[in-house]
Amino acid sequence: MVKIIYEDNHILVVEKPINVPVQRDETNDVDILSHLKEYIKERYNKPGNVYLGLVHRLDRPVGGIMVFARTSKAASRLSDAIRKREFYKRYLAVVHGILKDKSGKMNDYILKDSSTNIVSIVSSDTIGAKQAILEYSVLDTNENFTLVEVNLLTGRPHQIRVQFSNSGHPLYGDQKYGRKKNRPGQQIALWSKEISFIHPTTREYVKFESSLPNLEPWSWFA
């Protein structure tokens, strides 16, 4: 179910399939974390419960590269790197419309409603609001759609989706933040393309990538 990109004694890098939850949710569908724990248990003949640390997430409909920690030390160091913004994540997305600028930065404050699981753009003085920053560059256009690369500087829930929607360019297929422009059943065009960080034990800089699926709307672009 899950493509293994890289593994050693401290980290496990995988390609998450679309529409599979990272953790078990109310649907009780098979989730990535449980699947990978079972994979480690079988591959290395591990008795009892297997440790696998979840240090970052992808929304259920989003696919692409992820890293898990195989030790608590690795989990702590990767989490620390994320807090210090030394863990770099690049995404590809297809958005509605043609962006005016070939590159830019979005800097907003967002607030998550836990009861509805919906994130909103709010003023900076809103209680509980968190700053959300991303950089983007246009890679290609196709009729009324744009392929963008996104460098996520903060890892807020639904950040890319809500910030592009707020700018007037919701993501293709996003049923939550682009209902007016997307048809029911369309798959969201957001992909975790690349992650890079300092390896938690070797202290070497590492970078991992995953390839886009050969599906629309990705196939519209060269």
CA 151 vs. chain centroid, Å, equals 11
Contacts of 105 (CB under 8 A, 6+ apart): 133, 134, 135, 136
Q: How many CB atoms lie within 10 A of CB 50?
A: 16
**Euclidean distance between the first and final Cα of the chain, in Å?**
27
What are the helix (H) ranges across 44-188?
72-83, 159-166
Query: Is the omega angle on the peptide bond into residue 217 within 30 degrees of 0, that is, cis?
Result: yes
91 close to 152: Cβ distance less than 8 angstroms? yes
Strand stretches in the chain, DSSP E: 3-7, 11-16, 53-54, 63-69, 88-96, 103-113, 118-122, 130-142, 145-152, 190-198, 205-209
Q: Kindly list the catalytic residues.
A: 59
Decide if 193 contacts 209 (C-beta within 8 A).
yes
Query: Tokens 């970052």 map to which residue?
Result: 56
DSSP H helices in the chain: 32-43, 72-83, 159-166
